Amino acid sequence: MLLHHASWPEVEAYLERSKAVVIPVGSTEQHGPNGLIGTDAICPEVIAKRASELTNMLIAPTFNVGMAQHHMGFSGSMTLRPSTMIAAIFDWASSLARHGFDRLYFFNGHGGNIATLQSAFSEIHADRSLGRPGANREGLQCKLVNWWDFRPVLDFCRETYGSAHGSHATPSEVAITYAAFPHAVKETAMEPAIAPSGRFTDAEDYRAKFPDGRIGSDPSLARIEDGKKLIELSATAMARDFEAFAKQQ
In this structure, what CATH number is given to the domain that contains residue 134? 3.40.50.10310
Q: Spell out the residues 6+ positions from residue 20 whose beta carbon is closer than 8 angstroms to its own.
A: 57, 58, 101, 102, 103, 104, 105, 242, 245, 246
pTM to 2 decimal places: 0.95
Tell me the C-alpha distance between 110 and 224, whole Å. Answer: 21
Structural domain boundaries, residue 160: 3-247
DSSP-based three-state secondary structure for 57: coil
Instruction: Judge if the upstream peptide bond of residue 192 is cis by omega within 30 degrees of 0.
Output: yes
What residues pair up with 78 in beta bridges, in sequence order?
Answer: 28
**Amino acid 128: pLDDT:** 81
Give the per-residue pLDDT at 137.
54
**Nearest 10 degrees: Cα torsion 154, 157, 162, 167:** -80
Distances (CA, A) of 14 to 7, 52, 168, 190: 11, 13, 37, 47
Query: How many residues comprise the chain?
Result: 249
CA distance 81 to 78: 10
C-alpha 114/C-alpha 168 separation (Å) is 15
> Which residues make beta-bridge pairs with 168?
215
pLDDT at 13 (0 to 100): 97
Cβ–Cβ < 8 Å for 28, 37: yes
> What residue type is assigned to position 48 of the chain?
A
DSSP conformational letter for 180:
H
Domains: count for the chain: 1
| pLDDT score for 167 | 97
* pLDDT tens figures, 149-193: 999 999 999 999 999 999 999 999 999 999 999 999 998 989 999
d(CA 218, CA 80): 28
Contact 106, 93 (CB under 8 A): no
**What pLDDT digit, counting tens, does each position of 71-80 carry?**
999 999 999 9
Q: What is the pLDDT along the chain (249 residues), one digit of tens a residue?
A: 999 999 999 999 999 999 999 999 999 999 999 999 999 999 999 999 999 999 999 999 999 999 999 999 999 999 999 999 999 999 999 999 999 999 999 999 999 999 999 999 999 999 888 776 555 556 789 999 999 999 999 999 999 999 999 999 999 999 999 999 999 999 898 999 999 999 999 999 999 999 999 999 999 999 999 999 999 999 999 999 999 999 987
The C-alpha atoms of residue 127 and residue 113 are separated, in whole angstroms, by 21
> What is the helix, strand, coil percentage profile of the chain, to 5?
55, 10, 35
